[in-house]
Amino acid sequence: MSGILSYFRCRLSWLLAGAMLAPVVLAGPESAASIRQILNEMSEAVRINNYHGTVVFLRDQKMEAMRVFHGFRDGVERERIVALNSPMREVIRLGEDVTCYLPDERMVYVSRQPVHRSFLVQVPEEFEGYEQFYEVRLAGTGHVAQKLTQVVELRARDEFRYGRKIWIDQESRLPLRFELVDDKGVLVEQMMFTDFEILRQLPDKMLLPSPNMELSGWDVRNRKSVVHVNQAWSFDDVPAGFVQVFYRGSIMPTDKQIVEHILFSDGFSSVSVYVEKKGSDSVADYQKHWGAIHSYSRLLDGYQITVLGAVPEKTVQAIGDGVGYLSVSNWQ
């Protein structure tokens, strides 16, 4: 397996936890102010509150439970996600630094996330313009984890992004449940807090690895960033609304290959493009999915292009098929 594909196990743990939730932009002047206020308050609540709870995910007709911990101190977010069933894993974030523990394999991945982004929610810097791609409305109220919530529904205006339905706690403004649906209205994934608690301050031990995460003798793989002179790749046929927001090169710890990472986002959904030189273990073109997450890979003139994101299959394929090269990669 290539270096970048082996890293996907950790990357997916992060993406699967945060693939679906995002503040949304509204359409319709009648409720614009009220929805915008609700979503702004939700974004702030997720970022600055100290909370923990149990989250249940339903994807591909399988159920998975995780414990989620979030702390905020001195302007820095700290998060921890612990899987409660196999495959066992923990993902911990301190600011931009992310560490993924895989105890079954006695392996640890260390990396830096490309943008400021919570496990549970991705927040656009501004809301202007997104009504071109999403239609949003208030959809009544409902109870989640014994809390009264305001339901906000987001309908995608095209087939390149998912629709969302979010249940927001009226008291804390934390998102307690959400659903993802495809362009036909079919449920793709579902998440719900079964319990949660807000604390004045989260104890440090809640944000540290579990005691059984003993690194002695474990394989620690650190993705080191490298400096790149210029981006060598062009992108045609990127769906409208998705713009490039990040570019970085890293040295994969498994095979020491340099991998370029380009991130596209529409403010709510993100798509990662990874480019690495083709090796003897490169794979032919393929498509895979894990619930809402789709992955697409192809070979291009000695390079393997892999696209991964919580978007429909046609989105990752369109971006992947549109990759071209401007010049030979030039690293220093």
Separation between Cα atoms, residue 63 and residue 85, nearest integer Å: 10
Interval 26-46: pLDDT, tens: 444 446 677 778 888 888 888
Instruction: Give the residue from 266, 274, 304, 261 showing the smallest Cα distance to 112.
Output: 261
Hey, is 320 helix, strand or coil? helix
Query: What was the pLDDT predicted at 35?
Result: 79
CA angle 276, 280, 283 (to 5 degrees): 65
The continuous run of DSSP H or E covering 250 comes out as: strand 243-251
Separation between Cα atoms, residue 270 and residue 15, nearest integer Å: 10
User: Which tokens in the block code for residue 327?
Assistant: 């010049």
Phi, psi of 41 (to 5 degrees): -65, -40
Phi, psi of 230 (to 5 degrees): -155, 160
Interval 52-108: pLDDT, tens: 999 999 888 889 999 999 999 999 999 999 999 888 899 999 888 889 999 888 889
Query: What was the pLDDT predicted at 327?
Result: 60
Whether a cis peptide bond, with omega within 30° of 0, leads into 114 is: no
Domains of the chain, first to last: 3-207 (2.50.20.10), 222-325 (3.30.200.100)
Query: What was the pLDDT predicted at 172?
Result: 93
Cβ distance 83 to 90 under 8 Å? yes
User: Which tokens in the block code for residue 221?
Assistant: 């793989």
Average predicted confidence (pLDDT) for the chain: 81
Query: What was the pLDDT predicted at 52?
Result: 96
Instruction: Give the residue from 321, 323, 311 showing the smallest Cα distance to 159.
Output: 311
Instruction: Give the residue from 320, 220, 232 showing the smallest Cα distance to 273.
Output: 320
DSSP state of 211: T
Separation between Cα atoms, residue 26 and residue 34, nearest integer Å: 10
- pTM for this structure? 0.81
Query: What was the pLDDT predicted at 147?
Result: 95
Separation between Cα atoms, residue 101 and residue 63, nearest integer Å: 21
Residue 322 CB-density burial (10 A; 0-12 exposed, 13-18 middle, 19+ buried) = middle
Question: What's the half-sphere exposure (Cβ side, CA atoms, 13 Å) at 46?
Answer: 23
DSSP state of 209: P
Could you tell me where the DSSP H helices lie in the chain? 3-18, 32-48, 313-321
Separation between Cα atoms, residue 330 and residue 250, nearest integer Å: 13
Query: What was the pLDDT predicted at 198?
Result: 94
Hey, is 303 helix, strand or coil? strand
Interval 188-230: pLDDT, tens: 999 999 999 999 999 999 999 988 887 788 888 887 666 555 6
